[in-house]
Amino acid sequence: MSNVPQTYNDEIDLLGLIETIWEGKWKILSIIAIFLSSVLVFNISILNTNFTAQTQIRPITSSEIEKYSLFNSSLKLMEKKEIKEKDTDIFGITQEFLLNAYVDEIQESSLLEIGIQKYNLINKENFSSESSYNDEIEKFASQIQVLNPIKEKKPNARLYHILKGEYNDMDKWKAFLIFVNEEANKKVKARIISRFETLVSTLNQEKDFAIKDIETKINNARKDYEKDIEYKLAFLNEQAAIARKLNIPKYMITTQKFVTQNTLVTSEKNDQRFNKQSDIISSANNDFPFYQRGYLAIEEEINQINKRKDKRPFIKSIYVLEQEKRSLLQNKTIQRAVELFNKTPLTQNDFKSTIVKVSTTNFVDNSKKNLYYAIAIILGGIVGVVYVLLNNALLSRKNNTVS
């Protein structure tokens, strides 16, 4: 039996391992490439890649809103001159007004639902019934959000909203956004035009009613005059007949006495005494009867009344009423507002209530592609190194066995 002690080499030759791995680097890289290719095929054919899209909704520029300044001024004049009630709906077109109107149209959801259906963002063939398909459209539309304004971290930066949604087809989503933007602008435009037309119609109606009310008052004043004159002539004819019967051609008492007793009717102020029948009757009961003026004066007054061609100067308050009517007829405030409205961008085809650039939409990938690729590289590298080392170990053992 040999007394020579056995020696065991338990030390790891690191330099040898590194050399072995370096020599098998192409095999390792080939294995990593196989892993990466497998992940790539998986991502393309199996993985459903979703993204989050964020589109900025900004107010129009100051130069654009300036085009509405004259129209807004006309609205203020309408508010002062035409509108009496405090709760009348007067609006001014501002950046905030247009932006809020645009956001309201999108948040209403019906426009989004139409766009989802139009661009087939949800495949109808995947649903067994029409109702379940419509439910899914409503659900998808409700998940599209308009986020509150965010302040940019820049000096004098404007506030803007963000339209946010998730989908898996960039081209379809962009087409959908273009449709939603165009339709929202059309709806905002139609809403403002309708609102202005309603306002103009209401104010014109109020103006017409006011004119008709004044015309009614004028007609009533004329009828009252005719009735008063009828009573007055009846009274005067009666007093003239009495004067003739008593052979009183002229005044029998002094003018001063008649004035003192309020029975002398020699001026416009005295004529107003007989505008009411009660005044005429009470006058007849005075201590100095009216017929004592004499039939010559009374008959001449009757003659002058009957000869009146223009009765307007004798109709009480008609001048003031005609002034009010003329003022309403000549008021062009509403007409000018309409003319200025027709010069705003609202009557043009390129109207925009906001600034929305679909091309600048930010798409954020929601999938874990990069993670999968990193894992593929790591696993491929580990498998490749193990393969090279095992293969080298097997070759070394084989060579030792043969020798």
- pLDDT confidence band for 91 (50 / 70 / 90): confident
Instruction: Please calculate the CA angle 38-41-42 and round it to the nearest 5 degrees.
Output: 85
In the predicted structure, residue 84 carries a pLDDT above the cut 90: no
Cβ(305)–Cβ(54) below 8 Å = no
In sequence order, the β-bridge partners of residue 11 are none
More confident residue, 1 or 351: 351
pTM (2 decimals)? 0.66
For the chain, the structural domain boundaries read 46-206+346-376, 209-330
Report the C-alpha gap between 288 and 273 in whole angstroms.
Answer: 16
363: three-class secondary structure by DSSP: strand
| Residue pLDDT, tens place only, 295-337 | 999 999 999 999 998 888 888 889 999 999 999 999 888 898 8
- pLDDT (tens digit per residue) in 345-362: 998 888 999 999 999 999
Element of type H or E holding 50? none
Tell me the CATH number for domain 46-206+346-376: 3.30.1890.10
Going from the C-alpha of 13 to that of each of 16, 19, 262, the distances in angstroms are 5, 10, 144
* Rounded-to-integer distance, Cα 118 and Cα 332, Å: 46
Do residues 142 and 123 touch, judged by C-beta distance below 8 A?
no
Residue 81 has a pLDDT of 52
